[in-house]
Amino acid sequence: MKNDLSLLDHCLTPVRQLHSPNQSARDVDCAVDLLVLHNISLPPGEFGGCHVEDFFCNNLEVGLHPFFLEIADVKVSAHLLIDRAGLITQFVPFNRKAWHAGKSCFAGQENCNDFSIGIELEGTDDEHFTDAQYLSLINTTKLLMLEYPEITEARIVGHSDIAPDRKTDPGPCFDWVRLKMGLSSDH
């Protein structure tokens, strides 16, 4: 399948753009050199709908589900969300910090939000991701690696790698081999 994605003004195109207020400026001299993969579903274990988008944009109606009360005051975002159909939504331009990593450390460097790009995959730790998600993730990652050459395969990690005491995502059902093989292919 042909990859029609490109970057324009630090945004992926053509994808849906939603502005998250949960972002901040990067330091001018900070290199973007880490890609962090996550999973998310709201309510937990349920797919579809607009709850994740609403959560990242601080518009989640907390009365719709008991779990939403638990996260009502949480302010988070990611640069991108890839839904189960492989559709991509961007919330934060890549030249800005998305609030996805929380307390984190990679290779001795704290606060991974400062130097990383965060991609959320709609899913859970215990369910396999879709073919469409892998295709979108691989195509997007290849493009990001061209734009940010310091992001190498060794610097593509899971949330669990940078916050192992707090996080388990993208989880054991995420196929790291499939991702690496896709990155090394020409298609």
What are the sequence ranges of the domains in the chain?
Answer: 24-184
- What sign does the CA torsion over 24, 28, 29, 32 have? positive
- pLDDT at residue 107 in the model: 96
Q: What is the pLDDT of residues 165-179, one digit of tens each?
A: 999 999 999 999 999
pLDDT of residue 187: 59
Per-residue pLDDT, 2 = 55
Contact 42, 55 (CB under 8 A): yes
In the prediction, which pLDDT does 4 show? 86
Please enumerate in sequence order all residues whose Cβ is within 8 A of that of 164, keeping only pairs 6 or more positions apart, or say none.
none
- Classify residue 168 by burial, with Cβ atoms within 10 Å: 0-12, 13-18, 19+: middle
- Tokens 């196929």 locate to 175
The list of the chain residues with pLDDT below 50 reads: 1
Active site members: 120
Provide the β-strand partners of residue 18: none
**Phi, psi at 69, each rounded to 5°:** -65, -35
**pLDDT attached to residue 1:** 46
Residues contacting 70, CB < 8 A, separation 6+: none
Q: 73, exposed or middle or buried, with CB in 10 Å at 0-12, 13-18, 19+?
A: exposed
Q: Which CATH superfamily is domain 24-184 in?
A: Peptidoglycan recognition protein-like (3.40.80.10)
**What are the DSSP E strand ranges found in 42-144?**
80-82, 88-90, 96-98, 105-106, 109-110, 116-122
| CA dist., res. 23 & res. 174, Å (int) | 27
pTM above 0.85, yes or no: yes
Which residues are CB-neighbours of 138 under 8 A, at least 6 positions away?
A: 179, 182, 183
